Structure 1
Amino acid sequence: MIKAVIFDMDGLLFDTELLYSEGLIYSASKCGIDMSIEETYHVIGKTTEDAREFYAEYYKDNPKIDGRILVDEQIKYVENILKTVGSKKKPFVDEVLQFLKDNDYKIGLASSGRISDIYNNLEKHGLEHFFDAIASGEEVELGKPNPDVFLLAARKLNIEPKNCLVLEDSLNGVIGANRAGMKSIMIPDLIEPNEIVLSMVEFVGQNLADVILFLKKK
């Protein structure tokens, strides 16, 4: 029985994944590196520290660029835009959150993002009051695709993992939810699901309105 719904943030609640990709491409260009958007997909759903480690290894033989500094510059780029222009909500965010509240589901958020970015996004859109618990990648030792941040969210909600439904846009997020023993639905953003992910999810939706239809049938 589903008692709680746990949301990812970037790419699911807010249209920010492309912004993070743009930040990497911009930062790489300052070092004379022509990074493709596909090269930014490697770290979707990962924590900042995991992204630093990935690109440090990815560019270890390239003297032009330090992968850890690349990610630090990306974060500065993104934070500047989020604090000035702000993020854009994805379709049906308000509707699905209100539906969950009206039907007495617990609502959690499990994001690889930093705590400051999570609250900045939620507060700018007036959404913080919907969430009963928030878990950040900064609070756990291992980020997605490990289950730690999802299990932390479940503990904060006081709900068993088997009674949690995770909403994700990333492959790493779906795998992490599966490892946590939770059901999941994928709403793809930049990356389409592969065969492994398709075997894990309840279904792949077009947008968050599909989640409402799914839960109404339960």
Structure 2
Amino acid sequence: MRMVYYKTILEAAKHFEEKKAFLFDMDGLIFDTEQLFMEQLAIVMKEHGYTLTKEFYIQSLGLTGENLKSLMCGAYGEEYPFAELSAESRRRVSIVAETVGLRVKPGIRQLLGWLCEHHKNCAVVSSTHAKYVRKYLEYAGIDSYFKEVIGGDMVERSKPEPDIFLLGCEKTGVTPEEAVVLEDSENGIRSASRAGIATICVPDLKYPGEQVLPLIDVIVTAGEITE
């Protein structure tokens, strides 16, 4: 099937008006947090003598748990203090979320309003720990729009494996054919594709590569997302 392009995330969602459930990634999709987390992780790593590049960070998007640990330790050595640095980075991001707030990405509030009006089931399906997802949604005042929150701590295998989106379907009471995933990362797109779920891609830090583009059903054109 040929990929369809839209200028706004709302237009992209309307393409799937017949779907019953909309499964949202969080970091880089709902909130502009990927850039923030990358900056905080880079600072923490530098304090411990490591250097983080944007190119390498992009490889980690959507990964969690053992998959993320394997990537980091493979690049920086087995002695890399993965748990310590990840926890400290997340702690600093949480401080920003509590004190300054997280920027909800353009078009998200409008989209959630439309989905609510049309009685669609919405869930956040994120690699981030569920407790942080709930906090961030509450801080932004959009938690009431989501029927379920599924975090990376709730599945054994993280993205790009299909487990987390299949759990999202189960929790919202739909089949994969009745759902659509909204994602920004390549690993998230791969995960949704393996789960047999249609995808809307809203690029954030990186436009999808040639191997991922065939897995996308609808894409929001980068740089033209508007409220």
2:33: which partner in 1?
A: 16
**How does the TM-score come out when normalised to structure 1?**
0.88
In 1, Cα distance between equivalents of 2:193 and 2:186: 11
- The ranges of structure 1 where at least 4 consecutive aligned residues each deviate by more than 4 angstroms after the TM superposition are none
Q: Report 1:68-107 matches (<5 A).
A: 68-107=83-122
Asked whether the equivalents of residues 10 and 17 of structure 1 are also in contact (C-alpha less than 8 Å), the reply is: yes
Q: Between Structure 1 and Structure 2, how many residues are aligned?
A: 208
- 1:30 partnered with 2:82: no
Query: Structure 2 CA distance, aligned partners of 1:46 and 1:115?
Result: 14
Q: Secondary structure at the match of 2:204?
A: coil
Task: Give the CA RMSD over aligned residues.
Answer: 2.0
Q: Work out the CA distance in 1 between the residues paired with 2:130 and 2:82.
A: 23
Structure 2 CA distance for partners of 1:48 and 1:141, relative to 1, 3 Å: closer
1:77 shift after superposition:
2.3
Question: Offset of 1:49 from its aligned partner?
Answer: 4.7
Contact 1:53/1:68, CA 8 A, preserved across alignment: no
Alpha-carbon separation, structure 1, partners of 2:83 and 2:151: 20
- Find the aligned partners of 2:28 and 2:93 in 1 and give their Cα distance: 14
CA contact (8 A) 1:57 1:67 kept: no
1:158 is aligned to 2:210: no
Q: State whether structure 2 residue 126 is matched by structure 1 residue 111.
A: yes
State the TM-score, normalized to the length of structure 2: 0.85
Structure 2 residue aligned with 1:52: 69
Q: Which amino acid aligns with 1:133?
A: E
User: Does 1:4 pair with 2:30?
Assistant: no
CA contact (8 A) 1:48 1:71 kept: no
Q: Which has the higher contact order (CA 8 A, sep 6+)?
A: 2
The DSSP-based 3-state class of the residue aligned with 1:199 is: helix
Cα displacement string for residues 31-64 of structure 1 (whole angstroms, at most 9, x for unaligned residues): 2233222221121111255323321222117x6x
How far is 1:203 from its partner? 2.1
Q: Does structure 1 conserve the Cα–Cα contact (< 8 Å) formed by 2:98 and 2:139?
A: no
| Residue among 173, 182, 195 paired with 2:188 | 173
The one-letter code sitting in structure 1 at the alignment partner of 2:75 is Y
Amino acid in the other structure paired with 1:130? Y
Change (3 A) 1:19 1:171: same
2 CA distance for matches of 1:48 and 1:79? 19
What's the secondary structure of 2:125's corresponding residue?
Answer: strand
Identity %: 33
Structure 2 unaligned residues grouped into runs of 5+: 1-17
Residues 61-108 of structure 1: per-residue CA shift (max 9 Å, x gap):
7x6x43443323322222222222221100011110111111122111
